[in-house]
């Protein structure tokens, strides 16, 4: 079993929209800037549409790649803005029945600017780009561990990840989570990445099983749960996001220096009391959608990759592309977030043993502007 890191670890590298400059070619077009009507993005269930591309642009660069285009040949630049919700608004959405007295603590940390605690024990730590909320009546350490365990359970038991709990069906839990995101006016479309559910006693039993697994216990980071009751029966959902069916993503090797923020993510733990815990990262509301423009073809993206290999890579080494995938990159400039479509070209790069199959070799992704074809780092 491979341990998946909780979302908070990613947030230690959290970047929001600052005043970083983004090259002119990634700015919103004049047509997008002129758009004044706020457009509501309806969720879509578009499946990736794959074609296969076989080319050899250079002697040392071969392409034998699946193309994940989602059936899209044109796209629009999209402007997003922070949710702009106050602590009171968030609490009224997440825990509407908790109207008890609030205490506000101002903090100076990379993650949060203030922490709000209610007399009933609910807690909300938040900043413009990131917040964590938990319901009173639960121990934070218990909720953290339950989230981790349900993540492991989904990974280890993909065919039996979601047990139906007596207080709510899986379909109702999913709808409740989506309703929370809708109430927050999130402009992206949620996509379920992880969905798991167990009763409190089942969670206890699963932790006991994992105590014999060195990948779990040897890390020394787990929290030993007390005996759980049906109050801890829980649905766990982790969402990534798309816009008009195109994933909102980011190249893992590119830092905020280049004007990219970490893609949006949301995690919810739902018990019979409601949302017991929520973590949200870089969620945005929709401001405007620009005019749709044709995208460069996969072949043009490969042509750009060939130039990168020729001009920037070691000429004595061989390179191989196994996948091209379309995605929206969330780019920051002047406090605004703009989604621009890019082709991500996956490249297998040496060093690796000659007899190691391509699918097991280390790879990197290079990104090319879907409108102009420009290599991201050259813009």
How confident is the model over 256-272, as pLDDT tens digits?
Answer: 456 778 899 999 999 99
Per-residue pLDDT, averaged over 340-367, amounts to: 76
304 and 274, same domain (yes or no)? no
- Model confidence at 163, in pLDDT bands (50, 70, 90)? very high
What is the rounded average pLDDT for all residues in the chain?
Answer: 84
220 and 330, same domain (yes or no)? no
Per-residue pLDDT, averaged over 42-67, amounts to: 80
Per-residue pLDDT, averaged over 217-228, amounts to: 78
Residue finishing a domain among 227, 262, 282: 282
Which residue would you say has higher pLDDT here, 99 or 129? 99
pLDDT at residue 138, as a whole number = 95
| Structural domain includes residue 122 | no
Residue finishing a domain among 235, 255, 282: 282
pLDDT at residue 47, as a whole number = 57
- Assign 300 to helix, strand or coil: helix
| Structural domain includes residue 108 | no
Cβ–Cβ under 8 Å, residues 148 and 234? no
| Structural domain includes residue 274 | yes
Domains of the chain: total: 2
265 and 204, same domain (yes or no)? yes
Tokens representing 253? 């090797």
Instruction: Compute the distance between CA of residue 182 and CA of residue 192 in angstroms, rounded to an integer.
Output: 15
Per-residue pLDDT, averaged over 232-259, amounts to: 83
How confident is the model over 305-330, as pLDDT tens digits?
Answer: 999 999 988 888 888 998 999 999 99
Highest mean pLDDT among 57-66, 218-227, 267-276: 267-276
| Structural domain includes residue 91 | no
174 and 237, same domain (yes or no)? yes
CB burial class (10 A; 0-12, 13-18, 19+) of residue 8? middle
198 and 219, same domain (yes or no)? yes
Residue finishing a domain among 253, 282, 311: 282
134 and 210, same domain (yes or no)? yes
Per-residue pLDDT, averaged over 162-178, amounts to: 98
How confident is the model over 118-138, as pLDDT tens digits?
Answer: 999 999 998 888 999 999 999
Residue 37 has pLDDT above 70, yes or no: no
Domain that holds residue 194: 129-282
252 and 332, same domain (yes or no)? no
Question: DSSP secondary structure string, 173-213?
Answer: HHHHHHHHHHHTT--SEEEEEEEEEE-HHHHHHHHHHHTT-
205 and 140, same domain (yes or no)? yes
pLDDT at residue 45, as a whole number = 47
317 and 214, same domain (yes or no)? no
| Ramachandran angles phi, psi of 26, nearest 5° | -100, 0
Instruction: Compute the distance between CA of residue 172 and CA of residue 178 in angstroms, rounded to an integer.
Output: 10
Cβ–Cβ under 8 Å, residues 239 and 181? yes
- Model confidence at 16, in pLDDT bands (50, 70, 90)? low
| Structural domain includes residue 169 | yes
Question: DSSP secondary structure string, 52-104?
Answer: EEEEEEETTEEEEEEEE-TT-SEE--EEEEE----HHHHHHHH-TT--SPEEE
Residue 13 has pLDDT above 60, yes or no: no
Beta strands 265-271 and 61-68, pairing class: unpaired
Residue 353 has pLDDT above 70, yes or no: no
- Model confidence at 38, in pLDDT bands (50, 70, 90)? very low
344 and 367, same domain (yes or no)? yes
First to last CA, the chain: 41
Per-residue pLDDT, averaged over 345-357, amounts to: 71
pLDDT at residue 165, as a whole number = 98
Residue 20 has pLDDT above 70, yes or no: no
Consecutive H or E run containing 250:
none
325 and 272, same domain (yes or no)? no
| Structural domain includes residue 255 | yes
271 and 334, same domain (yes or no)? no
| Structural domain includes residue 92 | no
| Structural domain includes residue 9 | no
């Amino acid at each position: 079993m491979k341990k998946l890191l909780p979302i908070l670890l990613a947030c230690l590298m959290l970047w929001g929209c600052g005043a970083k400059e983004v090259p002119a070619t990634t700015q919103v077009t004049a047509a997008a800037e002129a758009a004044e009507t706020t457009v509501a993005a309806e969720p879509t269930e578009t499946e990736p549409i794959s074609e296969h591309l076989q080319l050899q642009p250079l002697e040392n660069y071969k392409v034998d790649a699946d193309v994940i285009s989602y059936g899209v040949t044109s796209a629009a630049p999209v402007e997003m803005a922070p949710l702009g919700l106050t602590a009171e608004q968030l609490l009224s959405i997440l825990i509407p029945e908790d109207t008890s007295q609030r205490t506000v603590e101002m903090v100076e940390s990379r993650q949060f600017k203030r922490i709000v605690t209610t007399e009933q024990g609910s807690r909300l730590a938040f900043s413009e780009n990131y917040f964590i909320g938990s319901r009173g009546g639960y121990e934070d350490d218990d909720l953290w561990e339950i989230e981790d365990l349900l993540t492991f359970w989904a990974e280890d038991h993909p065919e039996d990840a979601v047990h139906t709990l007596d207080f709510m069906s899986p379909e109702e839990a999913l709808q409740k989570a989506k309703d929370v995101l809708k109430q927050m006016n999130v402009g992206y479309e949620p996509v379920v990445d992880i969905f798991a559910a167990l009763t409190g006693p089942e969670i206890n039993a699963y932790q006991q099983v994992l105590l014999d697994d060195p990948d779990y216990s040897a890390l020394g980071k787990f929290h030993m749960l007390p005996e759980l009751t049906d109050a801890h029966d829980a649905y766990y959902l982790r969402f990534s996001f798309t816009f008009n069916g195109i994933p909102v993503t980011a190249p893992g090797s590119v830092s905020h220096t280049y004007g990219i923020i970490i893609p949006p993510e949301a995690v919810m733990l739902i018990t019979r009391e409601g949302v017991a815990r929520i973590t949200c990262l870089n969620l945005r509301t929709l401001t405007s959608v620009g005019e749709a423009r044709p995208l460069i073809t996969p072949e043009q993206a490969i042509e750009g990759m060939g130039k990168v290999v020729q001009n920037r890579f070691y000429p004595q080494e061989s390179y191989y592309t196994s996948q091209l995938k379309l995605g929206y990159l969330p780019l920051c400039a002047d406090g605004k977030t703009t989604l621009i479509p890019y082709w991500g070209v996956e490249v297998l790069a040496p060093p690796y043993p000659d007899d190691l199959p391509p699918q097991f070799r280390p790879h990197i992704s290079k990104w090319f502007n879907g409108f102009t074809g420009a290599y991201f780092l050259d813009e």
